[in-house]
Amino acid sequence: MNGQFQIATHVLTLLCKQPGELLSSDYVAGSMNVNPVLVRKEMRKLRACGLIESKEGKTGGYSLALPPQKITFADVYKAVKLPPALGQAKNKPNPACPVGKQIGAHLDHLADEVEAAIIKKLSTITIFDFVNQFD
């Protein structure tokens, strides 16, 4: 189970709904029953990609760095860096086998195509679109 994308999306949704306000990791974590440190870890990734900003110290917290119309889920997906959708083999196949020798490269190519398809789909949906679905 991997809820990193969900954490990132939840925070971005809250930030989008409360523009101007700085939200703390404790507040967000409470709103989603998750540990505050996990929230801060995801926020680090989002900040590294320029999607959010953070302020330290008392009255510190997180805010959007871009208008929500400019943030797509492709940006979120890339920032969060989930494991590949098709998984990843742990063991090296037998190089003496003609199939084993080559299959790694072909599987990598297939995985790349799938990641590209995911990103293409996600790039069509912004945080703004997502939040507008809420009542």
Question: Which residues of the chain form contacts with its own copies (CB under 8 A)?
Answer: 1-7, 9-10, 13-14, 17, 30-34, 73, 77, 82-83, 85-94, 97-100, 102-103, 106-107, 110, 113-114, 117-118, 120-122, 125, 130, 133-135
Q: Are 85 and 49 in contact (CB under 8 A)?
A: no
Decide: is 90 part of the binding site for DNA (CB under 7 A): yes
Q: Token digits for 106?
A: 């072909």
Q: Nearer to its own copies by C-beta: 58 or 90?
A: 90
Helix/strand/coil for 126: strand
Question: Does residue 135 interact with DNA by CB under 7 A?
Answer: no
Going by C-alpha positions, the residue among 2, 13, 18, 4 that lies closest to residue 133 is: 13
Alpha-helix runs per DSSP H in the chain = 4-17, 25-32, 36-48, 73-80, 98-122, 127-132
Q: Among DNA, its own copies, none, what does residue 47 contact (CB within 5–8 Å per kind)?
A: DNA
31 part of the interface to DNA, by CB under 7 A: no
Specify the amino acid at residue 122. Answer: L
Which member of 11, 15, 51, 61 binds DNA (CB under 7 A)?
Answer: 61
Closest distance of CB 57 from its own copies, Å: 26
CA distance 107 to 86: 9
Binding site for DNA (CB under 7 A): 1-4, 23-26, 33-38, 40-41, 43-44, 47, 54-62, 83, 87, 90-91
